[in-house]
Amino acid sequence: MRISTIRYTVKQGLRNIARNKMFSIASVATMAACIFLFGVFYSIITNFQYLVDKAEESVAIVVFLDEDITKKQKENIEKKLSKREEVLEVKYISADEAWEEFQKDYFGENSDAAEGFDVNPLEHSDNFEVYMKSVEKQAELVEYAEGLEGVRKVNKSELVADALTSVNMLIAYVSGAIILILLAVAIFLINNTVNMGITIRKEEIAIMKYIGAKDSFVRAPFVLEGVIIGVVGAAIPLVLLYFAYEKAINYILTKFTIFSTILNVDFLPASEVYKTLLPVGLLLGVGIGFVGSFFTIKKHLKA
């Protein structure tokens, strides 16, 4: 393609947008509404996933060690567990620490009740607390840990692990379905608006074809127009959502203090959500603009 043709295509694409202001505004608004909804759902789902991930990270299996275990064996177990892909952190809890934790959990403020114990009743309860990245692989990890030399027993929390795994799957299905529905709606709406715009310019396309314009020559300005509308239609809601997100998080945390105080919940910062949302949102805008205009104009290029 010649530079003059590229220049002509760009100029024509921009002119088309300016010339059909109402159509362009309608298309941008449609795209913006779809991307905004997508952004809202994405933010909710990502935060939900973040909370579940955090909950998963707090679930640990406890690996109890043999009474006569040597220091070298302990180190060996720690090393082997740490190397596992699903393991986030391996924390050694000595017998004293285990007893302190026990007192805190069971006696609370009545620490006097523990004074009757002269020796540590949990003397042989030193263990490794193993935190996982995802609880889905808990069973596998437990089986592995039980097989290690020097391991007496492994305690696990199957109920929590199963519940978290189910929630995870539910989030995946729901988010997948919502995103698919939104995409289908977006493509349908963009297709309709582009179709409307092309119908207005049907005569112009026919003239181009009579003169001997190639399909690509006729199509290029329309596709460029679609892509520009896509980028603008995606950029506007993404910028708006960025500021709305920060405000919404602040509002939730200040208005519903239960989240931060009792549930100890925090939300992802906008910058973290936007690491994925920004490129995906823009790509969606460009993709929908491109696909919508490319296939709609194809119908008019047959003659």
Task: State the minimum distance, in angstroms, from the CB of residue 209 to another protein.
Answer: 8
Question: Residue 118 contacts by C-beta under 8 Å, 6 or more apart in sequence?
Answer: none
**Contacting residue, 114, 167, 179, 208, with another protein by CB under 8 A:** 208
Within 10 angstroms of residue 110's Cβ, the number of other Cβ atoms is: 9
Which of the ranges 2-10, 89-97, 243-251, 268-276 carries the binding residues for another protein, by CB under 8 A?
2-10
Task: Write the interaction track for another protein spanning residues 217-246; mark x where CB under 8 A is met and - where it is not.
Answer: x-----------------------------
Joined together, the tokens standing for residue 135 give: 């609880």
**Contacting residue, 204, 240, 276, 279, with another protein by CB under 8 A:** 204
**Contacting residue, 22, 72, 110, 210, with another protein by CB under 8 A:** 210
Question: Residue 11 contacts by C-beta under 8 Å, 6 or more apart in sequence?
Answer: none
Give CA–CA dist 203/188, Å, rounded: 24
Question: Whose Cβ is closer to another protein: residue 9's or residue 296's?
Answer: 9
Interface residues for another protein in 4-23 (CB under 8 A)?
4-5, 8, 15, 19
Give CA–CA dist 164/59, Å, rounded: 10
Question: Does position 115 bind another protein by CB under 8 A?
Answer: no
Question: Whose Cβ is closer to another protein: residue 100's or residue 215's?
Answer: 215
Backbone torsions φ then ψ of 61, nearest 5 degrees:
-100, 150
Give CA–CA dist 115/130, Å, rounded: 30
Question: Residue 16 contacts by C-beta under 8 Å, 6 or more apart in sequence?
Answer: 201, 221, 222, 225
Question: Does position 262 bind another protein by CB under 8 A?
Answer: no
Footprint of another protein on this chain (CB under 8 A)? 1-2, 4-5, 8, 15, 19, 203-204, 206-215, 217, 303
